[in-house]
Amino acid sequence: MNPKLLQEIGLSEGETKVYLTLLKLGTTKTGPLAKKANVSSSKVYKILDRLEEKGLVGHIIKGKIKHYKAMEPKRVLDYIEQRQEQLNQKKELVKQILPELEQQQKIEETEATLFEGFKAVTNQVSNLLDELKSRESYYVLGVGYGETPAIRPFFTKYHKKRQQKKIKVIMLANHNERDKLVEPTKKLSEIKYLPQYLVTNMSIYLYNNKVLLAFWTQQPKGLLLESKEAYDSFKIYFDTLWKIAKN
């Protein structure tokens, strides 16, 4: 048989060796047992004590010397049932202390960073490409050029760099930009268009468990949220709008 099967139910490697050897030897002293099981004499006593506690080994005394024997293999089932009962008891204990553990858990705060000005916001958008690896993707909701004159030249260079890095964008663009997107945007991309009533000067970028909100007004502003919960929430919002957007 495969000895590892006994280890999977909770016996150590040494306990497995000693138990299987006792099955073969029958009643024996520790000397022959340690030699046959290939464990040291100093360890065999401790191993036998643990096996006796588990109900898998017994002993008798002959001439003031302990002789050990393996209990019937069916006792292995008793041992498993005992372990299961102990696990159930521990499970109930955990249930009792779970509310207290949850109260003690540290709530991770969302890290938020505010950016102001054209350069600051566009730098953060550019950082997105630096963080993503080749052939990775990101999502953007509310693509438009807003009220910032320099935004179109910026995104022309930005999407050329994105193509060079082979990064894909999945994009929900504003309805009024359908025929106005800078040409490099259309490569390595999936694009749908939001209905007119959802058009906004805000773009939301989703990548690497981060959310970047960029407001393309005359004085652009940005807010970066580094939070998986924030990312997951906005991703649900994105997926919902993706279903109603038009190609």
Measured in degrees and rounded to the nearest 5, phi and psi for residue 219 equal -115, 90
- Evaluate if residue 108 carries a pLDDT over 80: no
- Evaluate if residue 107 carries a pLDDT over 60: no
Query: Which of 38-52, 81-95, 214-228 shows the lowest mean pLDDT across its residues?
Result: 81-95
Average pLDDT over the chain reads 89
Q: What is the mean pLDDT of residues 205-231?
A: 93
Measured in degrees and rounded to the nearest 5, phi and psi for residue 229 equal -65, -40
The CATH classification number of 4-76 equals 1.10.10.10
In sequence order, the 6+-apart residues with CB closer than 8 A to the CB of 102 are none
Equal CATH topology for 4-76 and 111-244? no
Is pTM beyond 0.75 here? Answer: no
Place of tokens 């919002």: 237
Cα 107 from Cα 104, distance rounded (Å): 9
Lookup: tokens for 78: 């008793």
SS3 171: strand
Tens digit of each residue's pLDDT (9 = 90 or more) over 133-170: 999 999 999 888 877 778 999 999 999 999 999 999 99
SS3 179: coil
- Evaluate if residue 246 carries a pLDDT over 60: yes
**pLDDT more than 70, % of the chain:** 98
Lookup: tokens for 17: 């060796």
Tens digit of each residue's pLDDT (9 = 90 or more) over 54-89: 889 988 888 888 899 888 888 888 888 888 888 888
CA angle 106, 110, 115 (to 5 degrees): 155
What ranges do the domains of the chain cover?
Answer: 4-76, 111-244
Question: What kind of architecture, by CATH, is found in domain 111-244?
Answer: 2-Layer Sandwich (3.30)
Which stretch of DSSP H or E encloses residue 51? Answer: helix 41-53
User: Exposure string (b/e) for 39-50, b if CB count within 10 Å is 16 or more?
Assistant: beeeebeebbeb
Given its phi and psi angles, is residue 196 left (phi above 0), alpha (psi -120 to 50 degrees) or beta? alpha
Cα 173 from Cα 159, distance rounded (Å): 15
Given its phi and psi angles, is residue 109 left (phi above 0), alpha (psi -120 to 50 degrees) or beta? beta
Lookup: tokens for 53: 């506690």
CB 143 within 8 A of CB 155: no
Tens digit of each residue's pLDDT (9 = 90 or more) over 221-233: 999 999 999 999 9
Tens digit of each residue's pLDDT (9 = 90 or more) over 23-39: 999 999 999 999 999 99
Look at residue 247 in the predicted model and tell me its pLDDT: 86
